[in-house]
């Protein structure tokens, strides 16, 4: 089953709200998605994010990983879908 971060970005942005975040999908071969974000998010938001993806996709959370120059939204790498 195919999926695309482009289709999920609106839902992802709603869940994160005003929290700065970055979504990274390293490549089309590995089924990993990384969420880098400022601060912390609660477990309910993490569950909502995980539910957006198929069961075979590993979702990895990296709190407090955005530098001062990184903006909210997906990175250029997130354009790859698997």
Task: Name the band, by pLDDT with cuts 50, 70 and 90, for residue 36.
Answer: very high
The predicted-structure confidence for 57-66, as pLDDT tens digits, reads as follows 999 999 998 7
- Would you list the DSSP string of 5-49? HHHHHHHHHHHHTTS-EEEE---SSS-EEEEEESS---HHHHHHH
**Does the pLDDT value for residue 41 go beyond 90?**
yes
**Does the pLDDT value for residue 79 go beyond 70?**
no
Mean pLDDT of 42-54: 96
Between CA 72 and CA 37 the distance in angstroms is 8
Domain ranges of the chain: 5-79
* CB distance 71 to 19 below 8 Å: no
Between CA 74 and CA 4 the distance in angstroms is 12
């Amino acid at each position: 089953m195919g999926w695309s971060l482009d289709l999920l970005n609106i839902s992802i942005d709603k869940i994160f709200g005003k929290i700065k975040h970055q979504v990274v999908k390293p490549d089309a071969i590995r089924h990993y998605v990384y969420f880098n974000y400022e601060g912390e998010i609660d477990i309910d938001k993490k569950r909502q994010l995980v539910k957006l993806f198929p069961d075979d996709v590993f979702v990895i959370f990296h709190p407090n990983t955005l530098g001062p120059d990184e903006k909210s939204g997906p990175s250029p790498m997130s354009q790859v879908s698997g």
